[in-house]
Amino acid sequence: MKKMSIFALATLALLGVTSSANAATTVLATNDFVGITFWVVSMGMIASTVFFFAERGTVAQAWRPSVSVAGLVTGVAFVHYMYMRGIWVETGETPTVYRYIDWLITVPLQIIEFYLILAAVNKVPGSMFWRLLVASLVMLVFGYLGEAGYMSALFAFIIATAAWIYILFELFSGAAGKAMKKSGNKAMKTAFAAMRMIVTVGWAIYPLGYLFGYLLGGVDANSLNVIYNLADFVNKIAFGLVIWHCAMLNTSVSKR
């Protein structure tokens, strides 16, 4: 009953947001490939959210926070993508503000996932949580300030990139990386390595898009939106699926 109530509440909330976002629907043109990617990502996010919350009750208690956060990441992304899709289809403008608001919520949640999966099988210091959280916020806030014109775009890019590099350092050589190496949980190590690869390779798309699209003007807005949309689709959904897979493996082992 508890599992169904959580699932039902999440579904009703998302349906309510969908209705609100579609209050003034504009027909999507068949040749609007950017708009189509906004729609594809929206549907992928809502499908993933339903899946993660439905699966939450099937994993061990220690892993439920991680699976719940995975559902929150895709759920929040779904809400923002519905609005971003509307802005693009109706105005043809890049929904920069909504995209950064989405990242400001979902990216820290994804970074927190590293702490959660480590905490599910090991004792880890709380300071790790705060370092990762602060670094992710610095990365996003400075990225937005630069792209929105509130400060030097180049300076903001340098600070945001430095924060991303610090996150990578923490995950590879810092406390998080060391805690992963010391762990005897094979499934968690596999998941941690896969998530770390997403943050390293998948997230590299965003600073590269900022550099070549916004700073250098070498990539047009249409292409940049498509690239960001597909990157979000893979990075958010794959990230959550890795966590769910790890949770299921650990749950199966604990039941033996």
CA 231 to chain centre: 10
User: What pLDDT score was predicted for residue 22?
Assistant: 53
* Rounded Cα distance, 188 and 120, in Å: 9
* Domain limits, the chain: 2-255
pLDDT digits (tens, 9 = 90+) for 113-145: 888 888 877 778 888 889 999 999 999 999 999
pLDDT digits (tens, 9 = 90+) for 13-67: 555 555 545 544 567 788 889 999 999 999 999 999 999 999 998 998 888 999 9
Tokens of 141: 């806030």
Q: What is the pTM of this model?
A: 0.86
**In the chain, what is the greatest distance between 2 CA atoms, to the nearest angstrom?**
57
* Rounded Cα distance, 35 and 25, in Å: 13
The domain 2-255 is classified under which CATH number: 3.40.1190.20, 3.20.20.70, 1.20.1070.10, 1.10.1740.10? Answer: 1.20.1070.10
* Rounded Cα distance, 115 and 117, in Å: 6
Q: Are 185 and 118 in contact (CB under 8 A)?
A: no
Terminus-to-terminus CA distance in the chain, angstroms? Answer: 26
Nearest in space to 102 (alpha carbons), one of 78, 125, 126, 138: 78
* Rounded Cα distance, 123 and 5, in Å: 31
Over 60: is that where the pLDDT of 254 sits? no
State the pLDDT confidence band at 155, using cuts at 50, 70 and 90.
Answer: very high
